[in-house]
Structure 1
Amino acid sequence: MLRLLRLPCSLLAVLGLTWLLAGCSPRYQPPLTLGTNTWIGYEPLYLARELGYYDGANLRLVELASTTQTLDALRIGTLDMAAVTLDEALLLAQEGQPISVLWVLNISAGADALIAKPAITALAQLRGKRIGVEQTATGAYMLDAALQQAGLQVQDITIVPLPLDEHFSAWQANAIDAVVTFDPARQKLLHTGGLELFTSQDIPGQIVDVLVARQSALDCCRPQIAQVIAGQQRALQYLRQTPDQAWQHMAPRQGVAAENVADALSGIELPDARMNRQLLTDPNTGLPATTRQLVQTMQQNHLLHSPPDTAALIRADFAVEAAP
Structure 2
Amino acid sequence: MRIRNLLSLFTVFLLSFIIAVSCTPSPQTSTSNNSTAIQLGFSAWPGWFPWQVAQEQKLFAANKVNVDLKWFDGYLDSINALRAGQLNANTQTLNDTISSVAAGSDQVIVLVNDNSTGNDKIIVREGINSIADLKGKKVAAEEGTVDHFLLLLGLKKAGLTQADIQFQPLETGAAAAAFVAGQVDAVGVFAPFTTRALSRPGSKELFSSKDFPGAIPDHLVVTRQLINERPQDVQSLVNTWFATLDFMKANPEKAYEIMAKRAGVSVAEYKDYDAGTKIFSLQENLQAFSPGKDMKSLSYAAGEISKFLVETGLIKQAPNLNQIFDDRFVKAYAAKQKS
TM over 0.5: yes
Q: Give the aligned partner of residue 165 of structure 2.
A: 157
Taking a change above 3 Å as real, the CA distance of residues 147 and 25 of structure 1, as seen in their structure-2 partners, is closer
Task: Note if 1:60 corresponds to 2:64.
Answer: no
Within 1, Cα distance between the matches of 2:107 and 2:98? 10
Q: Pick from 213, 217, 223: which aligns with 1:214?
A: 223
Local SS of the residue matching 1:312: coil
Task: Note if 1:274 corresponds to 2:283.
Answer: yes
Q: Pick from 119, 132, 138: which aligns with 2:146?
A: 138
Local SS of the residue matching 2:60: coil
Q: Give the aligned partner of residue 105 of structure 1.
A: 113
Local SS of the residue matching 2:188: strand
- Higher mean C-alpha displacement, 32-41 vs 271-280: 271-280
Q: Pick from 25, 31, 42: which aligns with 1:27?
A: 31
Local SS of the residue matching 2:316: coil
Q: Give the aligned partner of residue 170 of structure 1.
A: 178
Q: Give the aligned partner of residue 10 of structure 2.
A: none
Within 1, Cα distance between the matches of 2:255 and 2:80? 31
Taking a change above 3 Å as real, the CA distance of residues 13 and 267 of structure 1, as seen in their structure-2 partners, is closer
Local SS of the residue matching 2:96: helix
Local SS of the residue matching 2:329: helix
Local SS of the residue matching 2:126: coil
Task: Note if 1:88 corresponds to 2:96.
Answer: yes
Q: How does 1:40-55 map to 2 (within 5 A)?
A: 40-55=46-61
State the shift of 1:123 in Å: 1.9
Q: Give the aligned partner of residue 36 of structure 1.
A: 42
Q: CA RMSD in A?
A: 2.4
- Higher mean C-alpha displacement, 314-323 vs 81-90: 314-323
Q: Give the aligned partner of residue 309 of structure 2.
A: 298
Counterpart amino acid of residue 46 in structure 2:
I
Contact 1:41–1:265 at 8 Å: present in 2 too? no
Unaligned runs of 5+ in 2: 1-14
Counterpart amino acid of residue 92 in structure 1:
S
Within 1, Cα distance between the matches of 2:156 and 2:17? 77
How many residue pairs end up in the alignment?
A: 314
Task: Note if 1:322 corresponds to 2:330.
Answer: no
Counterpart amino acid of residue 122 in structure 1:
S
Local SS of the residue matching 1:118: coil
Q: Give the aligned partner of residue 83 of structure 2.
A: 75
Q: Give the aligned partner of residue 129 of structure 1.
A: 137
Counterpart amino acid of residue 226 in structure 1:
Q
TM-score relative to the length of structure 2: 0.85
Within 2, Cα distance between the matches of 1:12 and 1:118? 73
Within 1, Cα distance between the matches of 2:95 and 2:229? 26
- Higher mean C-alpha displacement, 189-198 vs 39-48: 189-198
